[in-house]
Amino acid sequence: MKQNETQTPTNLSADQAEELLEWIVADTFAGDRIDKYVTEAYGEEGTSRTQIQDWIKSGAVKVNGLPVKPNYKIAEGDRVTVQPPEPEETEILPEDIPLDIVYEDEDVIVINKPRGMVVHPALGHSSGTVVNALLHHCKDLSGINGVKRPGIVHRIDKDTSGLLMAAKNDMAHASLAEQLKEHTVTRKYIALAHGIIPHDHGTIDAPIGRDPQDRKLFMVTDRGAKHAVTHFLVLERIIDYTLLELRLETGRTHQIRVHMKYIGHPLAGDPVYGRAKTVDLKGQALHAAVLGFIHPRTGEELVFEAPLPQDFEDVLHGLRTR
């Protein structure tokens, strides 16, 4: 296996396989204990060092494909992989949260997610999520992705608005997950980027992996990375910003945000990958505007569109009338 490939565990859905984490140890971390190294990588998840030590003892953490002890000292170039254990059976409560439903039948539901809403429960977000709302509305969702992510086939970031599909049963989930894996799902985003992009259209083909200096972030890299392709089309150039339509060929975490930073045109409002001086938005100017897939039961091709949210429209209006 090549160094920049990640082994996909068997008997996992496509979404679960994304949870297999991999890092190549940079020289700045050489000599650290493996439990310290992995705990820091999971800092944003709130996982304790004691829990990480239990993972190491259970074999969930490997170095160069082999289990190690918690006091193992890592070396530069070591390949560290972590397969987080399945979440404990904790009850996720239905909540009567309004949903902007674009489409719904017995198998699938498509919603227009507002900016600021988390997709599924996680540490710090045990309620108020899309999953909590779906459990109240649908009563039943697919169970392939476990108790914390019922029905969730794909995700969009908390501060990205737009279209999201969920599965009501395992048959639908398996079909939609396979379409995502085969890159046949249509996903188009509208984004506002810093700077004037001179080309009217183009393709960003650059692998994405975790940043070895800050393992909570992602970056374009050849080490421990996954293939990532984003296509872009310029819609409008406004002062020193560019309005774009972006089409995902792959669906890596933070893909559009990382790719736009990589080409020197980070998204306006992006608090992580963007610039300090930017537009008045609570999060990145990114909206999942078009979603298309083959219906799991009927075989019909479905395509949905969602208009830009008002805050995004207000930003554009302000720039156009400046």
Residue 311 bears catalytic tag: no
DSSP 105-160: -SSEEEEEEPTT--SS-BTTBSSSSHHHHHHHHHS----TT-TTSTTBS----TT-
Q: Active-site residue among 15, 35, 78, 157?
A: 157
Q: Which of 87, 83, 86 is nearest to 21 (CA)?
A: 83
The sign one gets for the Cα dihedral 36, 38, 44, 45 is negative
Residue 169 CB coordination number (10 Å): 18
Residue 124, classified by CB atoms within 10 Å of its CB into exposed (0-12), middle (13-18) or buried (19+), is: exposed
Report d(CA 3, CA 41) in Å as an integer: 20
What is 154-212 written as a DSSP string? ----TT-EEEEEEESSHHHHHHHHHHHHTT-SEEEEEEEEES---SSEEEEE--EEE-S
**Three-class DSSP category at 41:** helix
Quote the CA–CA distance of 306 and 309 in Å, as a whole number. Answer: 9
| Nearest one of 76, 87, 82 to 9, comparing CA atoms | 82
Measured from the Cβ of residue 142, the count of other Cβ atoms closer than 10 Å reads 24
DSSP lists the bridge partners of residue 138 as none
Residue 188: beta bridge partners?
247, 290
Task: Enumerate the active-site residues.
Answer: 157
